[in-house]
């Protein structure tokens, strides 16, 4: 009789050792797969094979946390529940941090399963599993539940590491994208100061972040004419910078062959539509001045109106059209024309000049007109400096968008 008991104990020990060896082999295979950066679906499939074939688990649901909710990434056996029902079951389980039985649970859904397996990191729930049709009992039960928890935990950690790696790659890619965008935009900023007989130009560009969506340009067309543009591209980042680069190249090319500003704007609109499929738009103020005739021709395409100061008065230049890139055909297009008096000041800006976190009654388009009238005799650089100093004194909040100032004095 004693010999039979000894034999039975030896058999149980051998069975336990073989079981532990199988568990170690399973963990080793999963770890090797993780080290080879095996795709997530394959890791989940390996988990299912181990649970089905080795542990004889007939029903399984595996949910991982994402953005404060749980998503089911593995399910087999039994009647498949809606995802929202599985997610709602967490309300009955969120205080349990160890493998626990579910038989007889008050929740009808959970009562269909035998065990609950939670996966935590410190106090944060990362995942949980529901196990059903699992008949292990006795001395092997705790061992099996611990093995299941360990196996799932290894896979959850691997998925978390994959997530962190993707986020790091994305952050590095975004950083490089911003660096490229800054490089592109710096190449697009043509000048800070320009002075020649007949015209003096002062410009300031204050990006809200590393890379903004503002653009400005000033260049001579011929002996008698020069052209300038102030624009605001929707969006940020490298895509906006590349759109700006394409816009600049298109503007320079069209201005060299087209005499009419209306034609230039119409063709720019078609180019932006073709390049962005209507997903981005550009507001702009485009102007051309002839020093011989002293005529200023301009088009305001949905942009903040440029302000013309002359002989103690100031007027906004509003004629034009809507933003470009929004419509296949511009719904209307009007070109403005003004005769400039000697000493006229032309102030161009983008909407960031008017937008701040804390709005102030002391700053508005009417207040801006008043400032231009009071300071219109300053040089372009002095005007830009005085304007920013004034804004800092009357507006307490920070700017919420890029600010571009382009000021010209016509002799």
Closest CA to 346 of 288, 397, 396, 402: 288
Give the β-pairing of 214-220 and 100-101. unpaired
Q: What's the rounded mean pLDDT across residues 80-102?
A: 90
Report the C-alpha gap between 350 and 226 in whole angstroms.
Answer: 21
In a domain, 180, yes or no: no
DSSP 315-356: EEE--EES-BTS-SS-S----EEEEPPTTEEEEEE-GGGT-B
In a domain, 23, yes or no: yes
Residues 203 and 153 in one domain: no
Provide the pLDDT confidence category of residue 183 given band limits of 50, 70 and 90. Answer: low
209-249 pLDDT, tens per residue? 655 678 899 999 999 999 999 999 887 767 777 788 888 88
Provide the pLDDT confidence category of residue 317 given band limits of 50, 70 and 90. Answer: very high
In a domain, 359, yes or no: yes
With H, G, I as helix, E, B as strand and everything else as coil, classify residue 277.
Answer: coil
Over the range 194-222, which residues count as b (16 or more CB within 10 Å of their CB) and which as e?
A: beeeebbbbbbbbbbeebbbbbbbbeeee
Provide the domain limits for residue 33.
Answer: 10-167
Total tally of structural domains belonging to the chain: 2
241-269 pLDDT, tens per residue? 778 888 888 999 999 999 999 999 999 99
In a domain, 60, yes or no: yes
Sheet of 403-410: strand order equals: 193-196, 199-206, 403-410, 344-349, 306-310, 313-317
**pLDDT at 24 (0 to 100):** 78
Provide the pLDDT confidence category of residue 1 given band limits of 50, 70 and 90. Answer: very low
Helix ranges, 36-137 (H):
40-49, 83-88
344-389 pLDDT, tens per residue? 999 999 998 998 877 778 899 999 999 999 999 999 999 999 999 9
Report the C-alpha gap between 168 and 163 in whole angstroms.
Answer: 9
Report the C-alpha gap between 339 and 310 in whole angstroms.
Answer: 11
Residues 277 and 215 in one domain: yes
* Sequence-ordered strand ranges (E) for 133-271: 193-196, 199-206, 214-220, 225-233
**pLDDT at 22 (0 to 100):** 78
In a domain, 223, yes or no: yes
Given a cut of 80, whether residue 318 has pLDDT beyond it is yes
Provide the pLDDT confidence category of residue 287 given band limits of 50, 70 and 90. Answer: very high
Given a cut of 70, whether residue 26 has pLDDT beyond it is yes
More confident residue, 163 or 357: 163
Q: For position 18, which CATH number holds?
A: 3.30.450.40
In a domain, 5, yes or no: no
- Find all residues with CB under 8 Å of 94, minimum gap 6, and list them: 125
Residues 196 and 123 in one domain: no
In a domain, 239, yes or no: yes
On whether the pTM is more than 0.75, the answer is no
* Alpha-carbon distances, residue 284 vs 150, 259, 262, 295, 334 (angstroms): 61, 18, 13, 20, 14
């Amino acid at each position: 009789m004693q010999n039979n008991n000894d034999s039975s104990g030896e058999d149980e020990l051998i069975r336990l050792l073989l079981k532990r060896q199988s568990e170690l082999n399973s963990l080793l295979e999963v770890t090797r797969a993780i080290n080879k950066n095996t795709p997530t679906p394959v890791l989940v499939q390996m988990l299912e094979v181990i649970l089905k074939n080795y542990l004889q688990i007939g029903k399984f649901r595996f949910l991982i946390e994402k953005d404060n909710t749980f998503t089911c990434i593995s399910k087999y056996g039994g009647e498949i529940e809606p995802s929202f029902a599985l997610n709602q079951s967490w309300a009955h389980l969120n205080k349990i941090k160890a493998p626990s039985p579910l038989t007889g649970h008050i929740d009808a859904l959970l009562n269909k399963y035998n065990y609950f397996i939670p996966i935590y990191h410190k106090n944060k729930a990362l995942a949980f599993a529901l196990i059903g049709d699992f008949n292990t009992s006795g001395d092997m039960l705790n061992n099996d539940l611990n093995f299941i928890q360990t196996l799932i935990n290894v896979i959850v950690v691997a998925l978390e590491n994959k997530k962190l790696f993707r986020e790091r790659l994305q952050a590095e890619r975004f950083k490089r994208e911003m660096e490229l965008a800054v490089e592109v935009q710096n190449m697009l900023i043509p000048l800070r100061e320009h002075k020649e007989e007949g015209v003096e130009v002062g410009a300031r560009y204050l990006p809200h972040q590393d890379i903004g969506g503002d653009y400005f340009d000033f260049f001579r067309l011929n002996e008698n004419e020069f052209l300038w543009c102030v624009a605001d591209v929707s969006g940020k980042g490298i895509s906006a910078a590349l759109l700006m680069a394409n816009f600049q190249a298109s503007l320079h090319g069209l201005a060299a062959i087209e005499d009419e500003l209306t034609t230039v704007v119409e063709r720019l609109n078609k180019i932006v539509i073709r390049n962005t499929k209507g997903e981005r738009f550009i507001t702009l103020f485009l102007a051309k001045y002839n020093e011989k005739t002293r005529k200023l021709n301009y088009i305001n395409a949905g942009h903040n109106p440029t302000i013309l100061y002359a002989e103690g008065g100031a007027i906004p230049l509003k004629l034009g059209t809507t933003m470009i890139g929004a419509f296949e055909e511009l719904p209307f297009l009007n070109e403005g024309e003004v005769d400039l008096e000697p000493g006229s000041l032309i102030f161009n800006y983008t909407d960031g000049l008017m937008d701040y976190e804390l709005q102030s009654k002391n700053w508005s388009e009417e207040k801006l007109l008043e400032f231009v009238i009071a300071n219109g005799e300053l040089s372009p650089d002095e005007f830009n400096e005085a304007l920013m100093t004034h804004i800092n004194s009357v507006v307490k909040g920070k700017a919420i968008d890029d600010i571009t100032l382009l000021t010209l004095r016509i002799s």
